[in-house]
Amino acid sequence: MSEMATARVLITGRVQGVGFRYFVTSTAEKFPIKGYVRNLETGSVEIEVEGEKTKVHQFVTAVRSGPRNAQVSDFQLEWKPYENKYEDFSVKF
């Protein structure tokens, strides 16, 4: 079995109101990963994903710059222990 991993990503900049959550969700569909994306009150976007470590890494790389109208000023990545706590990928409100 492949190594499993969980990653938490915090993205700041012009990342709300530019389709960032839609971009992240459509990117997640390309990889067999689970987790969520949500806007935070601070104006940042938070993503937590879990799955095969290689796929999680590829996903994180793919969402790093965001959609065309976004301007990412900071991208924080934290690797966490795998917990298998998500059934799918969703947008949290």
Q: Catalytic amino acids?
A: 21, 39
CB 10 within 8 A of CB 39: no
Distance, CA of 89 to CA of 92 (rounded, Å) = 10
Least Cα distance to 21 among 36, 7, 41 occurs for 36
Distance, CA of 24 to CA of 29 (rounded, Å) = 9
